[in-house]
Structure 1
Amino acid sequence: MTIASFDPIVDSRTKILILGSIPSVKSLEKIEYYGNKQNQFWKILFSIFDTSFLTQSYEQKKDFLLENGIGLWDVVRNCEREGSLDIAIKNQEINDFDSFFKAHPQITTLLFNGKIAYQFFYKKYGLIKGITYYVMPSTSPANTMSFEKKLKEWSVLLNHL
């Protein structure tokens, strides 16, 4: 099945861009980044900032990111994939980050939500001068690392940026 990524969540305040690979089946159904309730992305971010996310709408979640200088996008523009696992991605086309970074020169940090997102990005773009990369543990339910360990690794970084 051919799938496509969402538009980026970004504005002029965005300094940190979190990059996933491409939305899961549940996220595509809901038309929301990290729409699978099993994915710990929102829980981790809101825990770091000591804010409740359970009652927040998707619009409020997006506003929260932007207010904190955080943007969100995916590395893969479109691909073929059965199911939601990154290892099932085939025939991927990568988003146009050359144009994106020209339009958003204030972004200086990339956080990759998992190794596959980083590998796809790095293969096409390598290291980009003036931008620092961090590969974070995937928040996906497929990553069996404990929530506490994921939260600690994401917290250490986000608290220092």
Structure 2
Amino acid sequence: MAFPPVYGPDSRTLIVGTWPSPKSREQGFFYGHPQNRFWPLLARLLGAPVPQSVPEKKALILTHGLALWDTIESCTITGASDASIRDVVPADIAGLARKAPIRRVLCNGATAYRLYEKYSRVPGLEAVKLPSTSPANAAWTMDKLAAAWGNYLGEKAAPGAERL
């Protein structure tokens, strides 16, 4: 089950993952696995408390000019293994970019980036491959993730990178 995109009239940066994990599907929202560092990372970079409920998570995204979606509308997958993804039907990211003022796509991990580039690339939108917040990406500590993602989000945004 794919989730609809979270976006608003001020959403300038779209963060995309691949496909909801079993825990996310169980909870009915993006990044639902308790060990995924997505929500704590965003909260840290945006100077906000870690959201707990779906409404709090949506508010964090929308308050900071972000949008959130996945690169895949539907697929065949085994468990949460991105490596097993096949039969991909891509999400209509170009359609979303026509509805919101999206200028940049931040890909949460190499697989999200690869899928975005293969199926959904939107001409004129900068696409950035960032390290995955998945607990499977244990080599990246929270501090390392914050340094990489902080170049594009929050107070640490690099000079020349449009701050959100």
Normalization by structure 2: what TM-score? 0.89
> Is 1:147 aligned to residue 146 of structure 2?
no
Whole-Å separation in 2 of the counterparts to 1:126 and 1:30: 29
- Equivalent residue number for residue 15 of structure 2: 18
- The range that moved more, 70-79 or 89-98, is 89-98
Query: 1:33-112 residue pairs with structure 2 within 5 A?
Result: 33-53=30-50, 56-104=52-100, 106-112=101-107
Whole-Å separation in 2 of the counterparts to 1:107 and 1:147: 27
Kept after mapping to 1: 8 A contact 2:14/2:105: yes
Percent identity (aligned): 31
Q: CA deviation at 1:128?
A: 1.2
Kept after mapping to 1: 8 A contact 2:108/2:131: yes
Code of the residue aligned with 2:80 in structure 1: it is S
Number of residues of Structure 1 aligned to a counterpart in Structure 2: 155
Q: Which ranges in structure 2 are unaligned for 5 or more consecutive residues? A: 158-162
Q: Secondary structure at the match of 1:19?
A: strand
Q: Deviations over 1:47-105 (max 9, x none)?
A: 11222216x3220111111011011000000001111021111111101223222222x
Q: CA deviation at 1:156?
A: 2.2
Whole-Å separation in 2 of the counterparts to 1:47 and 1:53: 8
Normalization by structure 1: what TM-score? 0.90
Q: CA deviation at 1:31?
A: 0.4
Cα 1:123/1:84, change in 2 over 3 Å: same
Whole-Å separation in 1 of the counterparts to 2:112 and 2:24: 16
Whole-Å separation in 1 of the counterparts to 2:110 and 2:134: 12
Whole-Å separation in 1 of the counterparts to 2:146 and 2:137: 13
Whole-Å separation in 2 of the counterparts to 1:51 and 1:71: 17
Q: Secondary structure at the match of 1:110?
A: strand
**Structure 1 runs of 4+ with >6 Å offset:** none
Kept after mapping to 1: 8 A contact 2:36/2:135: yes
- Equivalent residue number for residue 138 of structure 1: 132
